[in-house]
Amino acid sequence: MANGKKKLDSKTLGKQKHMRRQWMTFLRMCRYGVNNFTRNAWLTIAATAIMTITLFVVFVSVASNAIMTNTIDQLRDKVSMSIYLKTDTTQLQADNAAQAVRELPSVMSVSVRSPEQARSAFIEDNKADIDTIEATKEATNSFPWTLSVKVVNINDTSQLADIVAHNKAVTDYVDPDHAPSFAGNRRTAIERIGHVADFARRIGIIASTVFIAISTLIIFNTIRMAIFNRREEIQMMKLIGAERSFIRGPFLVEAVVYGFFAALIATGLGFGLLLLSAPALATYEINIQPTIDLMTYYAGFVLLAMIGLGALIGIISSSLATRRYLRK
């Protein structure tokens, strides 16, 4: 029994020693990697700068996409597309037409406004124009019934056009003197922003991909140059039996350090750009504040994501650079 206990203690002690050796090896690799980072200032600055630009482009692309999405949603909520029904339409007929429109998958909501309500709303909207108000009061013609429709996608009104043309619950009561308005006051602006958002999203993806590729190549070449400069030292380590993981480790650490510092700089620049551009963008009704609030609240996660992306780019670059040489 005592022998069994000694064997168990021996195994436990062996595992502890093995873990301690692994930990010491890891610390040495980290130290060598940090030393490599500081060895060649110009290469370090070049690699870190390109990595910073890459991560900054990614940050701006993600933030721009969020800002454009929030802006389109905000403007969409302010726009209602109108279908006008004949003045002599009854409340029941108007409600039935509204229900038919409401059942469309592309429609978010439908509200019904009677001729009297339409007249009151028109007077309220133009109360500053005295001549228009007087002319409205003296006019004998009545306002039509109005179905105010909010859609999911402001740029897609095909279902609305189809139901106005073919659904009898709507077609029979459409006012021939007032064509359906599938364009509110802000429709042109929303379409423009929608197209700009799609274009910016594509450009952001392309730019991010290009800069990631450039960053990967530069770090790849930086690591290859470091390997070339230390080829005799690496060859000596091979001869004395050093494991490939130990030889490769410092270069991986070096690349991760590039990503770490680049992520710190790029995140700081990204937040600074958001805060500085907010007042100017707000004057053009660009809804930037929700994006600022969200990124500020999750600033820690944003920074970790940027560091993770930078580290991933560095690890891939370093792995590609060291694989061929260490295979020999």
Q: What is the pLDDT of residue 324?
A: 63
Q: pLDDT, tens digit, for every residue of 61-99?
A: 888 888 888 887 777 666 667 888 988 888 999 999 999
List the domain boundaries for the chain. Answer: 30-73+190-327, 80-184
Please name which of 295, 276, 306, 270 lies closest in space to residue 70, comparing C-alpha atoms: 295
CA–CA separation, 323 and 242 (whole Å): 16
- Cα 291 from chain centre: 10
**Mapping DSSP to helix (H, G, I), strand (E, B) and coil, where does residue 255 land?**
helix
Instruction: Indicate whether 136 pLDDT > 60.
Output: no
Average confidence (pLDDT) over 118-133:
64
Q: Which CATH class is domain 80-184?
A: alpha beta
Instruction: Determine contact, residues 48/261, Cβ cutoff 8 Å.
Output: yes
User: In this prediction, what percent of the chain has a pLDDT beyond 70?
Assistant: 72
Q: What is the pLDDT of residue 264?
A: 94
Q: What is the pLDDT of residue 140?
A: 47
Q: pLDDT, tens digit, for every residue of 305-325?
A: 999 998 888 888 878 777 766
List Cα–Cα distances, 36 to 83, 163, 258, in angstroms.
70, 69, 11
Instruction: Determine contact, residues 325/265, Cβ cutoff 8 Å.
Output: no
CA–CA separation, 93 and 112 (whole Å): 11
